[in-house]
Amino acid sequence: MREIPQWEFDFYALSHPRGHDFGEQTPVAAWMGSDDQSCGIVTRLAAAGTFGIVLMRRRLDSVWTITQQESGFTSIYAAAEVLNPLLSERHRPAPLPPGVIMRPSLFDLEGREPSDVFRMLVTPARRPAAWALNQLYLALPRPDRNWVSDCQTTNFHTRIWEAQLLASFREQGLLVEQPFESPDFRIENRVGDEAWVEAVTANPSVPYNHVNAPFADIPTEREEIFFGGAALRFAKTIGNKLDRRYDQLPHVAGKPFMLAIADFHASGSMMWSREGLIGYLHGSGATVADVNGRPQAVPMNTETLLGPAQFPAGLFANDRHAELSAVIFSNACSIAKLNRVAISGGGAPKGFRYTRMGKFFDRSPGALEGVSFCLDVTSDEYRSLWPHGYEPWTAEMEVFHNPFAHHPVPFELLPEAQHWFEEDGEWQCSSVYETSILWSQTRITDADKPAPTLQDLLDAESHATANPKDDDLLV
């Protein structure tokens, strides 16, 4: 058996109903069995000063299931002695529980023609992402029967968004369930705060091949950035979901309800569309103007989005949709994100260099621009950005709270997310992480070639010399 490093164990722990929250029994060590089909965990009950064991085995369909638990050991060594023979022997996979349908393999195409973006997962540089996505898929409590076929073909991004949401929720120690077909998730923390979450993606009006597609033009006018095409795409996507009235379902009624949205409406749009979501939700944006001889941020307000439809702006500006408690957003739903979490932990394949470049959010009062960065994903400098010691799933998660919500979402329900909320008529931000990333790209290059530089970042930002074939896009 081999000792499991923390980052790898944290992946397997996402199959635990409450993810990284084991309650009073804190994991202190873990080993993988000789057949790679079993995981033994030693836990510690601090109050009693005793230790316990948790034995997990893969089922017939590779899903982790707990097969044995014991407590009351006087030392970690005593607990490990009990685990040792259990992990050293080869065992048959655990049977499926009664009534549970065999979960299909993520990489068994069963004669289907996969999409180009799914094919990327089998390239050597992205095998960490393939492994990570498979772990998240196996951790889903009850994925749709067509989850695998969707992921392999036309709905790849919708499915990886659901997988990343699961990882973000359970990383924060939430109980995550899928008891009904809709909404996608029920989440709950230890003190009983709960909410329902429906995942949705903003998709293009005309489908395009996401692999190596040329970047879409970035809006240059501030009004277009906040109230233009991206804002309209978010508005229509959110509106379609609200029309389904999930809040009136018997199991949702009277509970907080959130929509979680990720953007794929144009190639590379994750690098700049966040402001469009803000413009739609708040009915306001910001521009830079000369005030008393100094450049300052000046608000821009609107009641409608740009375009002939005159679509109403300011979803959270009044009580028209008080049934929607909040909107969850991330600009990092990508293969690059799947890659980086595993690679920053220690799972980097040999022969490749992974460089993330972009802009940090500048929290300085009056700051008008982000702070440029260009970091090797495997470097100590990059890993030290987060207390986990590697990139967390929740790093880019933002929660925009509806100030008129009938059932507000407690901040404590998503403690590691960045929260935007209205206070005294102004929008405020609260974040547990000092580091927030406004936008970024992740570039994969051969290890024996020069590392990307900040000049490459400037080129990528302007798109003057950026070559999408060399970029694994992420923001």
Identity at 267, one-letter amino acid code = S
How far is the C-alpha of 155 from the C-alpha of 153, rounded, in Å? 6
Distance between first and last Cα of the chain: 38
Q: In a 3-state reduction of DSSP, which class is residue 428?
A: strand
Q: In what order do the strands lie in the sheet with 471-472?
A: 371-376, 352-360, 437-446, 471-472
Query: According to the model, what pLDDT value does residue 469 have?
Result: 33
Query: According to the model, what pLDDT value does residue 1 have?
Result: 81
Element (H, E) at 277: helix 274-282
Whether 149 and 118 have beta carbons less than 8 Å apart is answered as no
DSSP string, 349-388: PTTEEEEEEEEE---STT--SPEEEEEETTSHHHHTTSTT
Query: According to the model, what pLDDT value does residue 460 have?
Result: 58
Mean pLDDT value across residues 244-261? 98
How far is the C-alpha of 311 from the C-alpha of 206, rounded, in Å? 20
Query: According to the model, what pLDDT value does residue 470 have?
Result: 34
Compute how many other C-beta atoms are within 10 angstroms of the C-beta atom of residue 382: 20
408 secondary structure, DSSP code: P
* pLDDT category of residue 267 using cuts at 50, 70 and 90: very high
* pLDDT category of residue 293 using cuts at 50, 70 and 90: confident
Query: According to the model, what pLDDT value does residue 461 have?
Result: 55
pLDDT digits (tens, 9 = 90+) for 86-106: 998 888 899 999 999 999 999
Residues with Cβ < 8 Å from 272, sequence gap 6 or more? 218, 219, 225, 230, 439
* pLDDT category of residue 467 using cuts at 50, 70 and 90: very low
